Structure 1
Amino acid sequence: MKRIWPVLAVTSLGVYGAYRKYKDVTRLIKPTWPEVRHAGEVEEARAAHLPKPIANWLETIGAVGQEQVMGIYVKQVGWMKTKPDQEEWTESTAEQYSFVEPPSFYWKARMKIDGLFVTGSDSFRDGRAGMRIRFAGLVPINRAIPDGKRDESALQRFLMEMVWLPGLAFSPYVRFFNSSERFVEAEMSYNGSTANVTFEFDELGRMKRARAMRYKDIGEEAKRLPCIAEVHEWQTMDGIEMPRRIDITWIIDGKPFAWYKFTVEQASFNPRVPDAW
């Protein structure tokens, strides 16, 4: 019996050491959140230097003459499917903070799967993506380790969400090209990753649809797939028109897979992230 204790002690130390190493690696994923960097009013002359559809969009939604939206908080009520063959939608609630500078977002959701509550978070900060899933909000199911494909996909998502971050149009990390009356392409390069998104505008000049080639999964076999965000309803907040209902769809093997549909129930501009986050 006495001989077993040294073995158990060494084994325990090894397990603890591996756990601490894992914590050190994944700790980098959870960011500390910035204060909003106020950038003053959106001036018409400055907006006029942007591609025509972007300038028209800022004018149409009422952003010109208002303080730049450099950050946003949204509360979402939505429905998800994790697999294309899933028949039932899973109801979820989510909250998200996003910031133009430094480019970052943090989204956390709560849903009920097979009668059990699962919480998840998705984040992007300093060019790094993070993801965490917990059962009952306590027991970790999955905790993502940094990965280049995940970082790129998170940046793609961030750029696609320019629709509720108008201040991103003026970011030094973003450039526009191939502009036409109803379309414009955008490229964003940040901390080693590059995102490319095509924005489509409706007849009123509102940003209707965003399309990007994103990694849905990671690993050696992962490939970029078309990802589409489409706005179906709008609402006005503090004088600026913002999306209210959005669908997110992946195109897999040529077939659309609508995996997330949500409605923005609450929103505020240029918020401060609570310490609890």
Structure 2
Amino acid sequence: MNVLQNQLLIKILIGLVGFISLVILIISLGTWRMNKSIKQEIALLIENKGESNREIITEKDLEKLPAPVKRWMINTGVVGKKPIQTLHFKQTGKMKLKPDQKDWFIPQAKQYIRVDKPSYLWHVNLPMLPIINTNGRDLFWDGKGSMLIKIGSVIPVVDVSPNEKINESSLHRFLLEIPWYPTA
């Protein structure tokens, strides 16, 4: 190799390192911004929850419920407890984007729920590539739903603002998950 070829190779390597550094910086900033926004939404969701004004649940409270619901409530152990107002839990799982996909993705999610003011925030982190994760947020607040999913926390692939369809879908999800917290 001559000197010109070496200089060209060095310039290409420097350019490549610079490009990779720029991509990492953009992804890092995108992740920071998205996480900051989600933390603010979580704070809004759980702020001012205070103490539950409702009394401890008694069997008398369950008298007017249909028999299967009453049995379910008793079997879940809600009698003698105060109603739940807020919840936070973590989820992990396996996920394929296509039925014929060979490898499974392993998403990790956190969900925050408020029962006294029906709302939730679900935040998922889905590692898809070695340094690029897909981050998503599903929000139901004040009767309105929205969804945001970004590759590398930068490139939006889903960005749905409140509309009739997402609002209804988000409410359905909230109602379908109520069995997870029966004192609601």
> SS in structure 2 opposite 1:91?
coil
- 1:151 aligned to which of 158, 167, 177: 167
TM (norm. structure 1) is 0.46
Shift of 1:143: 1.9
Matched letter for residue 162 of structure 2: P
Stretches of structure 1 lacking an aligned partner (at least 5 in a row): 1-29, 169-277
Shift of 1:87: 4.2
Structure holding more helix per residue: 2
Shift of 1:139: 4.4
Higher relative contact order (CA 8 A, sep 6+): 1
Deviations 1:16-50 (A, max 9, x none): xxxxxxxxxxxxxx683143351231111001221
> SS in structure 2 opposite 1:54?
helix
Shift of 1:64: 0.7
Residue 104 of structure 1: aligned partner: 119
Cα–Cα, structure 1 residues 128 and 85, in superposed 2: closer, same or farther, change >3 Å? farther
- 1:124 aligned to which of 130, 140, 144: 140
CA distance, structure 2, for counterparts of residue 42 and residue 86 of structure 1: 48
1:44 paired to 2:59: yes
1:65 paired to 2:80: yes
Q: How does 1:1-277 map to 2 (within 5 A)?
A: 32-34=44-46, 35-36=48-49, 38=52, 39-115=54-130, 116-168=132-184
Residue 206 of structure 1: aligned partner: none
Residue 6 of structure 2: aligned partner: none
CA distance, structure 2, for counterparts of residue 112 and residue 165 of structure 1: 29
Matched letter for residue 126 of structure 2: M
Cα–Cα, structure 1 residues 86 and 153, in superposed 2: closer, same or farther, change >3 Å? farther
Matched letter for residue 144 of structure 2: R
Matched letter for residue 178 of structure 2: M
Structure holding more strand per residue: 1
CA distance, structure 1, for counterparts of residue 163 and residue 55 of structure 2: 36
TM (norm. structure 2) is 0.67
> SS in structure 1 opposite 2:45?
coil
Shift of 1:100: 1.4
CA distance, structure 1, for counterparts of residue 80 and residue 139 of structure 2: 31
Shift of 1:131: 0.8
Shift of 1:138: 4.2
Matched letter for residue 103 of structure 1: P
RMSD: 2.0
Deviations 1:225-246 (A, max 9, x none): xxxxxxxxxxxxxxxxxxxxxx
